[in-house]
């Protein structure tokens, strides 16, 4: 199969879909691999390293001519012109936030595999390392933007406990991978952490996992959320519905009730986010202030640490890509349930039910079109 690695166009994005090590694995398996010129430079991987792995360095147009196009993030509007019938695009698609992209794929007959919707043993395994990075960075960024020079309330998030000055109060909405990584970081610097979660089994796990630590686990409802958000110095929303756009559970009135200079980080803003007052920002201009609250809405947080993130995502995707290269896309989907769970659009038809509902588009069962 002809497989390509394209350079990301999103502002501030330095990740690349494959490492030279993985490219060599694909080439050794008999695939032809094209790498967009300087696609890996942001992650510290040079053209020469890809060439040594057996790839050919090409232009963007040549890269997009491949059968299987590997990306990190969803396609940019400037890349819609490359969509063609039968082409397969792999990446963290987060298509629920871009109806325009989905409609362009539908018109062209393109297939989109979203790594963020691939389930392995009931877990979003490929998304997990990116969620971990985003969760950890949310605390680091929150600590920075609580400083007065950024419009924050002027507190040091870890406090000065040796002088009787307490650490800040961190509220985490959701209890998944991003949430626990954020909690671990916040606890590590001495903060009190409150986690708001809906699933009873997950609540039990969180209570057992954080037993004896400065963590309060609360059942999610409007009253709990309204009460906790008022106390927060740093509020981190991690709510993600695979393939679908989540509801705006954090209302504008809740945001208005927060402390002046407090900080909100919405980890899942690339899927639409849960905070009513939040809109996507960029790594170069990551924040804005509304109702006196600092809003951090970067949709590609892992892109700020591209080398770490690239190695994490590449470790997760290589087995799937080798299987697609060996068996072809149809046979690979038919025989690999995890891979099938990642198919959001197949030859122009929306095959992820949550995505179809979110965008009010026709849904087609994947098995009916294979």
Give 249-253 contacts, CB < 8 A, sequence gap 24+: 249/173, 249/225, 249/274, 250/173, 250/225, 250/274, 250/275, 250/276, 251/276, 252/276, 252/277, 252/291
Nearest-Å Rg of the Cα atoms of the chain is: 21
- Please choose, from the candidates 340, 362, 358, 336, the residue with its C-alpha nearest in 3D space to the C-alpha of residue 349: 362
Calculate the CA 273 to chain-centre distance. 11
Longest distance between any two alpha carbons in the chain, whole Å: 66
- Among the options 94, 279, 291, 295, which is catalytic? 94
Give 54-60 contacts, CB < 8 A, sequence gap 24+: 54/23, 54/24, 54/27, 54/28, 55/5, 55/20, 55/23, 55/27, 56/32, 58/4, 58/34, 60/6, 60/7, 60/36
Query: Between the CA of residue 175 and those of 134, 217, 239, 255, what are the distances in Å?
Result: 14, 9, 8, 21
The angle at the Cα of 261, spanning 260 to 267, to the nearest 5 degrees, equals: 115
Look up 192 and say whether it is catalytic: no
- Report residue 139 as tokens: 């605390």
Burial status of residue 360 (CB atoms within 10 A of its CB: 0-12, 13-18, 19 or more): exposed
- Please choose, from the candidates 316, 358, 325, 347, the residue with its C-alpha nearest in 3D space to the C-alpha of residue 95: 358
Hey, which residues are catalytic here?
94
């Amino acid at each position: 199969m002809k497989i390509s690695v394209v350079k990301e166009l999103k502002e501030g994005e330095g990740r690349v879909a494959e490492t030279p090590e993985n490219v060599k694995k694909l080439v050794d398996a008999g695939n032809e691999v094209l790498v967009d010129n300087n696609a890996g430079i942001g992650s510290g991987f040079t053209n020469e390293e890809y060439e040594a792995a057996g790839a050919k360095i090409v232009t963007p147009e040549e890269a997009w001519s491949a059968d299987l196009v590997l990306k990190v993030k969803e396609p940019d509007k400037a890349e819609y012109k490359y969509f063609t019938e039968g082409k397969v695009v792999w990446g963290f698609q987060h298509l629920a936030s871009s109806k325009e992209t989905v409609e362009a794929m539908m018109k062209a007959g393109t297939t989109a595999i979203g790594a963020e919707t691939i389930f392995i043993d009931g877990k979003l395994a490929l998304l997990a390392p990116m969620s971990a990075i985003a969760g950890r960075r949310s605390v680091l960024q929150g600590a920075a933007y609580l400083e007065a020079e950024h419009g924050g309330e002027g507190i040091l998030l870890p406090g000065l406990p040796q002088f009787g000055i307490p650490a800040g109060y961190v509220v985490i909405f959701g209890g998944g991978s991003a949430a626990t990584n954020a909690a671990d970081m916040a606890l590590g610097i001495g903060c009190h952490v409150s986690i708001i979660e809906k699933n009873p089994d997950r609540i039990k796990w969180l209570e057992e996992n954080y037993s004896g630590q400065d963590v309060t686990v609360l059942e999610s409802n409007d009253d709990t959320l309204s009460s906790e958000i008022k106390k927060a110095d740093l509020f981190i929303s991690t709510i993600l519905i695979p393939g679908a756009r989540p509801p705006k559970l954090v209302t504008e009135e809740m945001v208005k009730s927060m402390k002046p200079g407090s900080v909100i980080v919405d980890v899942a803003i690339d899927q639409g986010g849960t905070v009513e007052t939040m809109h996507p920002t960029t790594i170069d201009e990551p924040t804005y202030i509304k109702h006196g609250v600092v809003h951090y809405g970067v949709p590609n947080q892992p892109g700020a640490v591209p080398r770490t993130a690239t190695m994490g995502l590449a470790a997760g995707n290589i087995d799937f890509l080798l299987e697609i290269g060996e068996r072809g896309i149809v046979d690979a989907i038919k025989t690999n349930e995890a891979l099938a769970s990642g198919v959001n659009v197949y030859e122009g038809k929306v095959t992820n039910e949550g995505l179809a509902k979110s965008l009010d588009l026709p849904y087609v069962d994947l098995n009916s079109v294979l």
